[in-house]
């Protein structure tokens, strides 16, 4: 006879936190969101930490190298999507690891025989007002000069003037040689009152720009996630099919951590993938696994050697696994049970394995609930897909700006490796949809608001760290009527239409 759970599974929206005692020291500015990313032994530190408990999902429409850089600047980490060729994924990882913070490869370049009209067209395309003039018009050509808005007056020029006639020539520029450190470059900028400093190699070929404005933005990113060599950190997804070829390529590219991308993690396929990593690399390569929704699934992956375990099946906004297969569990219930199994395993073995809540985050406060229920960090797709830095284009649909967002189980992604159970190499049916999300602007601005909400709620609970939140949190289930009561009700909202007169 089948086993029946006596209690229904619940989602995050069915819970509320009960406020606790808040001391005068417990203010958002004093709250730490630092959290372990991979397993560690009792009394030791985790080899990898993240400074904010949010990571981006292993999805085509979410996690490329652009978003990885933006999230690492804020203290989180991205997992580059694996539903692409091994070479392309490794190249994305390599671009993140080789990115020099503060050193920008110029994307606005022009030849000296081009005209002012070409400069204006270039500025309109890139939005950048500093243009490098190189012999071939490329980012690594021989630097001949530079054009900024101070070099021309559109109202007094025809547009046919050659760039060589109005540019600031190389002999009047302050440049720095390749190998100049970021500190040295910033010192030169301040000493000479520059807005931009070109970095050139010994042959005079353009390498990078260092901008004055980036100095202040760098100072405003105290939580940026960097490795021992001061390179941004990045994760990468792998599947259970070509892992013997993909994993070595990603390790060679410099990936800091890997994660198996699968719709269901309680399987021998995941165990075999983890065993391959341990046999080839020992514990030097970190790999997470999942997804699971109960105690048995967690313990299986823990014993297999996973460095962290992802929790959640069917809770994503674009996921239709529950609808198609009847498989899954309410995200809150899944996190609560797996967290209890994690604590049980830690008490028994002395090994702490972080868990990641993946899916089911609709509102910002759901992040805090997931952490209070035992998650060490959360993985989000829809949340990050809305931002400028995600890979998809911004579109105008019926007057509203949106970005494309599709599931890895959709026909568009064709990520059969994530859902296949050893059968045909194709998608048998869809487990994800193709959709739009409302465009939200920059990652930095939105994440700052979300994290402030998380910290503020933690203070309401009297907690100044994630472990303290998990120790002190008091949670209550709410009725459907309570959920209605929690929003605005019995009032007429004011808006721009009703207030115009």
Give the angle 485-491-493 at the CA atoms, nearest 5°. Answer: 115
Give the angle 13-367-101 at the CA atoms, nearest 5°. Answer: 155
Q: Residue 218 has which token pair?
A: 């760098």
d(CA 484, CA 99): 48
HEC-encoded secondary structure of 350-411:
CEECCEEEECCCCCCHHHHHHHHCCCCEEEECHHHHCECCCCCCEEEECCEEEEEEECCCCC
Which residues are known catalytic residues?
319, 418
Pairing, β 54-56 against β 377-380: parallel
Whether the bond between 291 and the residue before it is cis, its omega within 30 degrees of 0, is: yes
| Burial of residue 63, with CB atoms counted within 10 A of its CB: 0-12 exposed, 13-18 middle, 19 or more buried | buried
Measured between alpha carbons, how far apart are the two ends of the chain, in Å?
Answer: 69
Give the number of other CB atoms < 10 A from CB of residue 224: 18
Pairing, β 54-56 against β 77-80: parallel
Residues 6+ apart with CB under 8 A from 317: 362, 381, 382, 435
Sign of the C-alpha dihedral computed for residues 116, 120, 125 and 130 taken in this order: positive
Please report which residue ranges of 209-267 form alpha helices under DSSP H.
212-219, 243-253
Look at residues 184, 106, 198, 208 and name the one whose alpha carbon lies nearest to residue 144.
198
Q: Residue 436 has which token pair?
A: 């739009």
């Amino acid at each position: 006879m089948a086993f029946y759970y006596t209690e229904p599974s619940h989602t995050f929206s069915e819970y509320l936190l009960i406020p606790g005692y808040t001391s005068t020291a417990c203010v958002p500015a004093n709250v730490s969101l630092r959290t372990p990313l991979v397993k560690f032994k009792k009394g030791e530190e985790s080899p990898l930490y993240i400074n904010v408990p949010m990571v981006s999902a292993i999805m085509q429409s979410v996690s490329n190298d652009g978003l990885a850089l933006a999230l690492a600047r804020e203290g989180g980490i991205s997992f580059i999507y694996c539903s692409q060729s091994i070479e392309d994924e490794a190249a994305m990882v390599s671009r993140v690891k080789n990115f020099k913070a503060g050193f920008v490869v110029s994307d606005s370049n022009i030849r000296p025989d081009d005209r002012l009209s070409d400069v204006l067209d270039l500025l309109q395309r890139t939005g950048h007002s500093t243009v490098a003039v190189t012999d071939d018009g490329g980012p690594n050509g021989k630097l001949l000069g530079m054009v900024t808005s101070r070099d021309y007056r559109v109202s007094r020029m025809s547009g046919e003037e050659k760039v060589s006639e109005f540019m600031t020539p190389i002999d009047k520029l302050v440049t720095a040689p390749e190998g100049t450190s970021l500190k040295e470059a910033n010192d030169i900028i301040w000493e000479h009152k520059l807005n931009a400093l070109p970095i050139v190699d010994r042959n005079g070929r353009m390498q990078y720009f260092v901008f004055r404005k980036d100095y202040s933005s760098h100072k405003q990113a105290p939580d940026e996630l960097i490795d021992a060599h001061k390179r941004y950190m990045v994760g990468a997804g792998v599947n259970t099919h070509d892992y013997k070829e993909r994993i070595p390529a990603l390790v060679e590219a410099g990936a800091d951590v890997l994660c198996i991308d699968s719709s269901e993690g309680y399987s021998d396929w995941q165990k075999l993938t983890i065993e391959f990593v341990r046999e080839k690399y020992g514990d030097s390569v970190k790999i997470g696994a999942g997804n699971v929704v109960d105690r048995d699934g967690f313990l299986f992956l823990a014993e297999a050697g996973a460095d962290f375990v992802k929790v959640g099946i069917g809770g994503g906004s674009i996921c239709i696994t529950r609808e198609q297969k009847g498989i899954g569990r309410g995200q809150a219930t899944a996190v609560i049970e797996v967290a209890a199994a994690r604590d049980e395993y830690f008490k028994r073995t002395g090994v702490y394995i972080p868990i990641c809540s993946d899916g089911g985050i609709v509102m910002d406060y759901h992040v805090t609930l997931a952490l209070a229920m035992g998650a060490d960090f959360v993985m989000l797709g829809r949340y990050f897909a809305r931002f400028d830095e995600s890979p998809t284009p911004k579109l105008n649909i019926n007057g509203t700006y949106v970005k494309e967002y599709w599931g890895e189980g959709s026909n568009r992604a064709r990520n059969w490796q994530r859902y296949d159970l050893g059968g045909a190499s194709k998608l048998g049916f869809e487990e994800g949809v193709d959709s739009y999300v409302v465009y939200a602007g920059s990652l930095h601005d939105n994440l700052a608001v979300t994290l402030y909400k998380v910290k503020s709620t933690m203070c309401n609970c009297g907690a100044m760290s994630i472990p303290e939140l998990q120790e002190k949190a008091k949670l209550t289930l709410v009725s459907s009527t309570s959920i209605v009561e929690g929003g605005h009700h019995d009032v007429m909202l004011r808006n721009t239409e009703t207030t115009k007169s």
